[in-house]
């Protein structure tokens, strides 16, 4: 048998790194932990918490909850953060200066940086509903990303409102029954674009879509 030619597949490379990690790419409910919760300031001046999530199956997602705009006014992401705190049963969270490892896209290396993190949010079991959203990348191609939709308690499946009101867990099931991928409007979609299926499935073994734009070299 002749030798093969090999083309880099970013997702296969991640799985081959040990642990089988890959992106969350289907709308649904996932239980895992936040591996990072970092204070961030956007170029717009908005302030928030940048999070990285890893499910029990090793599936990963990154999202940011912007809590205040550049004028210091509270915006919707603050309510999402409050819901996250509630399902983790945290009355307050305080930033701490720490040294963390982050990938530097300029040097293409993992570097140690100083950052303000929220350790109380990290490494605690939590459930998160992610909604897959379509977007156009810099090349005008349709891609997908997982967006934070709603958090829930990993043990009881209660949403924040159910925990606070001491009600049984019922809302998560209803959310999942109606949850759909967020598609691009037809008028913004480039012609002859094809992407993977958006069916809602439980976390597990999935067909991994193409994320070539995520290769940093």
pLDDT at position 155 = 97
DSSP string, 40-95: EE-TTS-EEEEEEEEETTSEEEEEEEEEE-TTS-B-HHHHHHHHHHHHTT-S----
Q: Does 5 reside within a domain?
A: no
Residue pair 195/144 in contact (Cβ under 8 Å)? The answer is yes
160, part of any domain:
yes
Q: Is residue 104 part of a domain?
A: yes
Count of domains for the chain: 1
Q: Tell me the two tokens of residue 210.
A: 């193409």
Q: 164-182 pLDDT, tens per residue?
A: 999 999 999 999 999 999 9
More confident site: 119 or 22? 119
Question: Per the domain annotation, does 127 fall within a domain?
Answer: yes
Length of the chain: 217
Q: Which residues contact 24 (CB under 8 A, 6 or more apart)?
A: 30, 53, 55, 59, 60, 61, 130, 146, 203
Residue at 205 is within a domain: no
| Domain enclosing residue 95, as ranges | 19-190
The more confident residue out of 206 and 214 is 214
157 Ramachandran zone, left/alpha/beta (phi>0; psi -120 to 50): left
Determine the Cα–Cα distance for residues 80 and 166; give it in Å rounded to an integer.
Answer: 19
Residue 139 lies in a domain: yes
Q: Which of 135-144, 188-197, 207-216 has the lowest mean pLDDT?
A: 207-216
Identify the H or E element spanning 175. Answer: helix 171-178
Residue 195, domain member (yes or no): no
Instruction: Indicate the pLDDT class of residue 40, thresholds 50, 70 and 90.
Output: very high
pLDDT band for position 131 (50/70/90)? very high
**Within a domain: residue 202?**
no
**pTM reported for the whole predicted model:** 0.77
- Nearest to 27, CA basis, from 148, 137, 136, 142: 148
Q: Is the pLDDT of residue 107 over 80?
A: yes
């Amino acid at each position: 048998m002749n030798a093969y030619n090999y083309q880099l597949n970013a997702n296969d490379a991640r799985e081959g790194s040990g642990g089988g990690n890959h992106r969350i790419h289907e709308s649904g409910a996932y239980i895992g932990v936040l591996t990072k919760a970092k204070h961030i300031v956007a170029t717009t001046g908005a302030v928030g918490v940048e999070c990285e999530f890893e499910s029990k199956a090793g599936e990963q997602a990154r999202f940011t909850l912007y809590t205040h705009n550049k004028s210091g006014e509270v915006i919707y992401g603050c309510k999402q953060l409050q819901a996250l705190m509630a399902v983790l049963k945290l009355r307050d969270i305080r930033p701490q200066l720490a040294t963390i490892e982050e990938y530097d896209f300029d040097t293409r290396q993992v570097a140690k940086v100083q950052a303000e993190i929220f350790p109380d949010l990290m490494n605690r079991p939590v459930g998160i509903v992610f909604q897959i959203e379509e977007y156009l990348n810099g090349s005008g191609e349709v891609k997908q990303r997982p967006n934070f939709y709603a958090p829930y308690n990993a043990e009881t499946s209660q949403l924040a409102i159910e925990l606070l009101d001491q009600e049984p867990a019922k809302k998560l099931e209803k959310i999942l029954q109606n949850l759909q991928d967020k598609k691009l409007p037809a008028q913004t979609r480039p012609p002859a674009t094809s992407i993977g299926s958006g069916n809602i499935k439980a976390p597990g073994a999935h067909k991994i879509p193409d994320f070539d734009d995520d290769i940093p070299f």
